[in-house]
Amino acid sequence: MALIIDCDPGIDDALALLLAFGSPLEISAITTVVGNVSVEQATSNAQTVLNAAGITGVPVHPGAGTPLSGLVRASSSSHGFDGLGGRGSEPLAIREATAVDHLLRLSRSKRDSLTIAALGPLTNIAMAIQRDADFAQRVDRLVVMGGAIGSGNVTPAAEFNFWHDPAAVDVVLRAGFTRLEIIGLDVTGQVFLSAEARERIRLSSAPSAPFVYEMIGAYFDAYWRSHGVVGAEMCDPLVIAHLLDPEILTLSEAYVEVELEGQSVGRSNVWPTARYRDKIANARVATGVDPQRFFTLFLETTFPASTA
């Protein structure tokens, strides 16, 4: 399996990348997109995370700087001014957005064996579909962090990634992917990194541990300010964990559509096809999670205990 991680780092995107780097997954490329931060900052942040983990040889391709709708919605405030809780570098000047070219190229060279993990708004993926209608058919599997069956996180109705570019979500949902999996807030809300787990990261021998410990501190502060709880949700790492261990999540077939305007813009309407028998499934949606199994995998893979 070849893997592209399309992301908008973002603290939880950074943690997802680190989980992937520590695992046996073969990462062909990282593509970046506007979302939590500008695409210039997201691209710089992806590179910062690679450096923190001591990873070389994984290309980072900058992607869309504007959502498909053309409307740049507010970025997420949970990740600090630079997306990495103050641990980022200057935004990278981007000469050419090459992400979509690479998505298309790899979908041809790795036909039927390409998995895409989409951890940010779906702008790049939708642009690839718009450029080549056959793209979706060549991709083996698209796993998306986004949406919610229940409540949103940026409005009562909408989850951030879907809300940021609903037009792109719509294109993706209609594209006819054979294996589209959607991991939304219903399950990510159950994987909350604790203060104890953060301490375990500090004590780890992973080269990225000091960087991550500090970065998570900013994430905790944001959750404390907005939710009044100590900890932080591991939205994006759950996608990578699902690729590594299919037992962590339970998924159900559903027909999914997205609200394109109005007060509930960005909301995902999820129709389980076991219940709504006239609907034809276009995705499998995560409905259950084993948080313990997730955290064991996440910590053991990314932050092995120090032996010193």
Which residues of the shown chain bind Ca ion in the complex (CB under 5 A)? Answer: 8, 10, 13, 119-120, 236
Q: Least Å distance between CB 43 and ligand BDR?
A: 15
Q: Which stretch binds ligand BDR (CB under 6 A): 53-61, 93-101, 133-141, 159-167?
A: 159-167
The verdict on 186 binding ligand BDR (CB under 6 A) reads no
Which of 182, 157, 202, 205 shows the shortest CA–CA distance to 253? 182
CA torsion angle 215 217 222 224 (round to 10)? 160
The verdict on 294 binding ligand BDR (CB under 6 A) reads no
Instruction: Tell me if residue 213 falls in helix, strand or coil.
Output: helix
In the bound state with ligand BDR, the residue whose beta carbon lies nearer, of 159 and 170, is: 159
The one among 41, 161, 204, 301 contacting ligand BDR by CB under 6 A:
161
The one among 145, 187, 193, 265 contacting ligand BDR by CB under 6 A:
145
The one among 119, 143, 180, 216 contacting ligand BDR by CB under 6 A:
119
Residues 2/243, Cβ–Cβ less than 8 Å:
no
Site for ligand BDR in 17-46 (CB under 6 A): 36
In the bound state with ligand BDR, the residue whose beta carbon lies nearer, of 159 and 165, is: 159
Residue 171 to residue 125: CA distance in whole angstroms: 9
Residue 159 to residue 266: CA distance in whole angstroms: 7
The verdict on 13 binding ligand BDR (CB under 6 A) reads yes
H or E element in which residue 232 lies: strand 232-233
Burial class (CB in 10 A: 0-12, 13-18, 19+), 245: middle
Q: List residues near ligand BDR by CB under 6 A.
A: 10, 12-13, 36, 76, 78, 119-120, 145, 153, 159-161, 235-236
